[in-house]
Amino acid sequence: MKKLRVLLIGAAFSADLHSEGYSRIMDKVQIVGICDRDLDRVAALAERYGFRGYEAYTDIDTAIGECHCDVVDICMPNFLHYQVAMKALHAGFDIICEKPLATKVEDAQDMVDTAHRLGRHIYYAEDWLFAPAFRKAIAIMDSGQVGKPLYIRARESHCGSHSPFAQKIEYCGGGCMIHLGVHPVGFLLALKDNRWTELVAMTSGGGDTNLVHSQMEGEDWAGAFLRFADGTYAALEANYVTTGGMEDVLDIYCEKGCIHVDLSFAGPVKVFSIDGLDYTVEKAEITTGWSRPAVDEKYNLGYCGEIDHFVDCALAGKDAQVGLRGRDGLETLKVIHLIYQSAKEGKHIRNREQEEQNEV
């Protein structure tokens, strides 16, 4: 069986998430290269997941130019996605790109247009779409047993990133909405095939107007209301003011019932520790006292499923499912920037193109 040859660009946080997925499907994938300016980090990542026979690189141009791969997996800070993606696409490779697709809409558009022109695929890594609990919720909703969905509420939040790349808009593209809200936005757009009709939003504004993180240029709280072409309403929230660990929450209110999913804190293990544990859940500030340690966290958050899907699609030379394509990442970024526009201008934004399609 032919294996998909993958070049990882980056060996830190995102690369760790993706590597967990690759490590479970080594029968159909081979990590042939890992690029990071810190070779100790490369070695540690490879050792952690049992990668063997790979080439280590410290320079992106050299890695893309010399590595014999099929796919370039971009696990870099937001502001580098565009630069690395364009190098990889022009070199003739498909790419996997973490969220957000880029920091600027025009860059994301250029990525999508370039991939189309060159006959390459962009696989957009939206892990919510492969979170088992969310997939179960979608299956129940689609079954019709709870009736037509009327209103959906989705949120991702935690206490805030300490990465220097999350502090400045130049590097991140915004605040918590582009960094965390990208998940509920992308997830709901995928459910509704990107067909939204209107939105209105508010944010904390960034800097001194933030609720907690005054050193952060982007906002630390953001919320938006959207309406979709089928009449469904949605409320989306992202914030950096949530203590106690990351929250991923989805609520679906239907004609004959409702569905509630708490992705982060529904684990079956409960522990009391006086001294504290090494780890419980992502972004938990303390681990003393009672806690619920995550069980197979990366799988349950969807990272393993999305990587498996991308590998299968790349081996077959086909696009990913709706929500995981480059153009879905582009639509997600467009909506996020419109959320920022709505909040800044106090403006109710209508999607005139979609409204005209509805009238036809």
- Domain interval for residue 141: 129-303+334-359
Q: Collapse the DSSP code of 52 into the 3-class scheme (helix H, G, I; strand E, B; otherwise coil) and give the result.
A: coil
In the chain, pLDDT over 90 holds for what percent of residues? 92
* Strand (E) or helix (H) holding 228: strand 221-228
Identify the pLDDT of residue 235: 98
**H or E segment and range at residue 2:** none
**Residue 310 domain-assigned (yes or no):** no
By three-state DSSP, how is residue 100 classified? coil
pLDDT tens digit sequence for 151-161: 999 999 999 98
Measured CA to CA, the distance from residue 19 to residue 300 in angstroms comes to: 15
The two structure tokens encoding residue 141 = 């909703």
- Per-chain mean pLDDT for the chain: 96
pLDDT at 320: 98
| Region of residue 342 (left: phi > 0; alpha: psi -120 to 50; beta: else) | alpha
Same domain, 26 and 154: no
Indicate if 204 and 345 belong to the same structural domain.
yes
**Residue 134 sits in the same domain as residue 206:** yes
pLDDT at 360: 58
Whether the per-residue pLDDT at 23 is higher than 70: the answer is yes
Kindly state the greatest CA–CA separation across the chain: 64
With 70 as the cut, is the pLDDT of residue 359 above it?
no
Of the residues 104, 126, 148, the one at which a domain ends: 126
Work out the pLDDT band at 354, boundaries 50, 70, 90.
confident
Q: Beta-carbon neighbour count of residue 328 at 10 Å?
A: 24
Within 10 Å of residue 139's Cβ, how many Cβ atoms?
Answer: 9
pLDDT tens track for 231-270: 999 999 999 999 999 999 999 999 999 999 998 865 789 9
**For the chain, percent of residues with pLDDT exceeding 70:** 99
**Domain end: 81, 97, 126, which one?**
126
Last residue of a domain, one of 126, 141, 170: 126
pTM: 0.95
Contacts with 45 (C-beta within 8 Å, 6 or more apart), sequence order: 8, 11, 15, 16, 19, 34, 36, 51
Q: Angle at Cα 305 formed by Cα 264 and Cα 318, nearest 5°?
A: 145
Do 39 and 78 sit in the same domain of this protein? yes
Q: What is the pLDDT of residues 203-234, one digit of tens each?
A: 999 999 999 999 999 999 999 999 999 999 99
- Residue 323 confidence (pLDDT): 98
Q: What is the pLDDT of residues 300-344, one digit of tens each?
A: 999 999 999 999 999 999 999 999 999 999 999 999 999 999 999
State residue 345 phi and psi, 5-degree precision: -100, -5
Q: Is residue 328 part of a domain?
A: no
Residue 316, domain member (yes or no):
no
| CATH assignment of the domain containing 74 | 3.40.50.720
Residues 107 and 182 in one domain: no
Contacts of residue 13, defined as CB under 8 A and 6 or more positions apart, other chains included, come to 75
My answer on whether 27 and 163 are in the same domain is no
Q: Are residues 134 and 189 in the same domain?
A: yes
Residue with tokens 């009449």: 231
